[in-house]
Amino acid sequence: MKIDFELTTPRLILRPFKTVDLNAFLEAVTQSREQLQPWLEWCDADFDQQQAHEWIEASRLSWQHDYSYELAIFDRFNDEFVGAVSLSAIVPLFNSANLGYWITHSYHRQGIATEASLAIIQFAFQMLGFTRLEIITHIDNYASQKTALACNAVFECEARNRIFYQNKPINGYVYSLIPQDLY
């Protein structure tokens, strides 16, 4: 898919990462490390400029080859980097993908994750033709669970060993969305 893609919402602009996003991305991760680290293994004290650069390059390559679709989120009014939302673990055989999201700490509790997720959900169903999306959360990640429910996702189960975190399997909650959940 073309890398010059963009989605807009009332408050946000979502687009594939660009190299120019490096410093804003790294700053957002650094400022939000305490809130993100319990849920995102890559977000540790060692995450540095080189890793951020590699992340952006991998994100762009995955987008170009349709392996995953990660969008950087920006505040539409001040162009500030806000976080990311993605479709990953794409399984063509099942016409499905996983939906993930994270928002920088200064934008928490404003409905940003929900607004960005709803935009990429519509993209997934209407433009990519997916028929199922899954949101997998850590059992104690209440903010992510709240976002899933705000997007009209349905809680399906506690799945055993669904998340592999810090070299060990842990249980996770599985939420799902199908096109009829939005319309």
Is the confidence at residue 4, as pLDDT, over 80?
no
Residue that the structure tokens 């429910």 belong to? 149
Q: Which helix (H) or strand (E) holds 70?
A: strand 69-75
- On whether residue 31 sits in a domain, the answer given is yes
Is the confidence at residue 57, as pLDDT, over 80?
yes
Residue that the structure tokens 């994100």 belong to? 59
- On whether residue 76 sits in a domain, the answer given is yes
Tell me the mean pLDDT in the region 175-182.
Answer: 95
Q: Which of 166, 169, 137 is nearest to 153 (CA)?
A: 137
Give me the domain span that covers residue 44: 7-131
List pLDDT tens digits, range 121-174. Answer: 999 999 999 999 999 999 999 999 999 999 999 999 999 999 998 899 999 999
Q: How many domains does the chain divide into?
A: 1
- On whether residue 165 sits in a domain, the answer given is no
| The model's pTM | 0.91
- On whether residue 180 sits in a domain, the answer given is no
**Average confidence score pLDDT of the chain:** 91
Looking at residue 115, what is its pLDDT? 97
DSSP string, 112-162: HHHHHHHHHHHIIIIIS--SEEEEEEETT-HHHHHHHHHTTPEEEEEEEEE
**By the 8 A CB rule, do 87 and 99 touch?**
yes
- On whether residue 15 sits in a domain, the answer given is yes
Domain holding 41: CATH number?
A: 3.40.630.30
Looking at residue 10, what is its pLDDT? 96
Give the model's confidence band at 20: pLDDT under 50 very low, under 70 low, under 90 confident, else very high: very high
- On whether residue 142 sits in a domain, the answer given is no
Q: What percent of the chain has pLDDT over 70?
A: 94
List pLDDT tens digits, range 88-99. Answer: 999 999 999 999
Rounded distance between C-alpha atoms, residue 100 and residue 79, angstroms: 22
Question: What's the token pair of residue 167?
Answer: 């070299």
